[in-house]
Amino acid sequence: MPHTSESRRRFLQSTAGAALVSAAEAAPALPKVKLGKFEITRLIIGANPLYGYSHCSRLLDQHLREWCTQERVCEILRGAERNGINTWQMHYGERPVSDLKRHRAEGGKLQWILLGMGEVMKDFSLIREMARMQPVGIVHHGNMTDDRFRAGEREKVHDFLKAVRDSGVLVGLSTHNPAVIDTVEGLGWDIDFYMTCLYQQSRPREELQKMLGEAPIGETYLDSDPPRMFRVIRQTKKTCLAFKLLAAGRLINSPQMVEQAVRRALENIKPQDCIIMGMYPRFRDEPRENAETVRRILGAAG
């Protein structure tokens, strides 16, 4: 059957809602902040759903990976760009790097922030290799940050950050634990920005047992966590990129619930800070909806 423009449009609507806005109907740019020499939108698209990191179950991970083919990921990135988002937070890996290269080859202009994981955490020559691709910055992975601080190995984190500085790109540190930021600020480490998880889902089972009197099954998201992270975000002068606003998909049961979580984040971080949101536009045009929500909130605040 001929692949008409109409059938193509229906296909994109049913498989990648991010493509609903055509190039001719590109949305206005989102508000931006300065980070080093870069201007980044206050809404950044994340990578977890695109590569099967649901933080819920292995079955959902598998569903995400099967649906998010390279073609769909690149379409999602184009949709994000058309909706005014100009930055993508991705992680190190063969597939994300390949997707980035294809995005650029197809004319995409998203800036990108690299979250270190896998081999790049051990082989610092890969930091220099990634730096040659001109990311906004390279970030030490949050779970590894928390694990290393807990194990008394914070100098391993520091060594990674020094290697990033030597590569010539901006230096970022991700963490789920507000106490890590308090410690790093006190030590005066050479860092340009933080990635700050609003929920401390990296707590070990023993700590949860002590806090709650029992250890829940699976990852734990406490409603009392975001205020603790908001406190250190506001205290530091460095730019913070807040993530897991929606508690890894646990706060998406209605548009009102999503907007409430986004509003809480934007109203409790500094004007120079941004939010990162993972997007899975299989059922709704999440890049468009999230961008419109951020514009509405920031427009009302302005």
Beta bridge partners of 197: 243
What does the pLDDT read at residue 6?
45
| Residue 300's pLDDT band (cuts 50, 70, 90) | low
pLDDT surpasses 50 at 72: yes
Indicate the domain borders of the chain. 41-199+219-301
Of the chain, the percentage scoring pLDDT greater than 70 comes to 91
> What whole-number distance in Å separates Cα of residue 239 and Cα of residue 259?
23
Over residues 36-46, mean pLDDT: 98
Between 142-150 and 178-187, two packed helices, what is the crossing angle to 10 degrees? 70
* Closest to 73 in 3D by CA, of 88, 61, 84, 83: 88
pLDDT value at position 201?
Answer: 87
At residue 211, the pLDDT reads 86
| pLDDT above 80 (res 136) | yes
278 Rama class: left (phi>0) / alpha (psi -120 to 50) / beta:
beta
pLDDT band at 9 (very low <50, low <70, confident <90, very high): very low
Q: How far apart (Å, rounded) are the C-alpha atoms in residues 72 and 62?
A: 16
Among 8-22, 137-151, 222-236, whose mean pLDDT is lowest?
Answer: 8-22
Q: Does the pLDDT of residue 13 top 60, yes or no? A: no
Q: Identify the CA nearest to 82 among candidates 9, 33, 18, 136.
A: 18
- pLDDT, tens digit, 9 for 90 and up, residues 78-135: 999 999 999 999 999 999 999 999 999 999 999 999 999 999 999 999 999 999 999 9
> What pLDDT is attached to residue 26?
72
The tens digit of pLDDT for each residue in 169-221 reads 999 999 999 999 999 999 999 999 999 999 998 888 888 888 888 888 888 99
Distance CA 9, CA 29 (A): 24
C-beta neighbour count of 271 within 10 angstroms? 11
> Using CB atoms within 10 A of its CB, is residue 195 exposed (0-12), middle (13-18) or buried (19+)?
buried
Region 12-33: mean pLDDT is 60
Residue-level pLDDT at 301: 61
For the chain, the average pLDDT equals 91
The CATH class of 41-199+219-301 is alpha beta
Instruction: Please give the pLDDT value at position 218.
Output: 85
Residue 49 has pLDDT above 80, yes or no: yes
DSSP letters for the chain: ----HHHHHHHHHHH-GGG-S-GGGPPPPPPEEEETTEEEESEEE-SGGGGT--SS-HHHHHHHHHH--HHHHHHHHHHHHHTT--EEEEESSHHHHHHHHHHHHTT---EEEEEP-GGGGT-THHHHHHHTT--SEEEE-HHHHHHHHHTT-HHHHHHHHHHHHHHTSEEEEEES-HHHHHHHHHHT---SEEEEESS-TT--HHHHHHHHSS--SS----TTHHHHHHHHHHH-SSEEEEE-TTTTTTT-SSHHHHHHHHHHHHHHS-TT-EEEE---TTSS-HHHHHHHHHHHHHHHH-
Band (pLDDT 50/70/90 cuts) for residue 302 is low
CB 28 within 8 A of CB 84: yes
CA angle 30, 33, 38 (to 5 degrees): 105
Handedness of CA 72, 78, 83, 88 (dihedral sign): positive
Residue 15 confidence (pLDDT) = 44
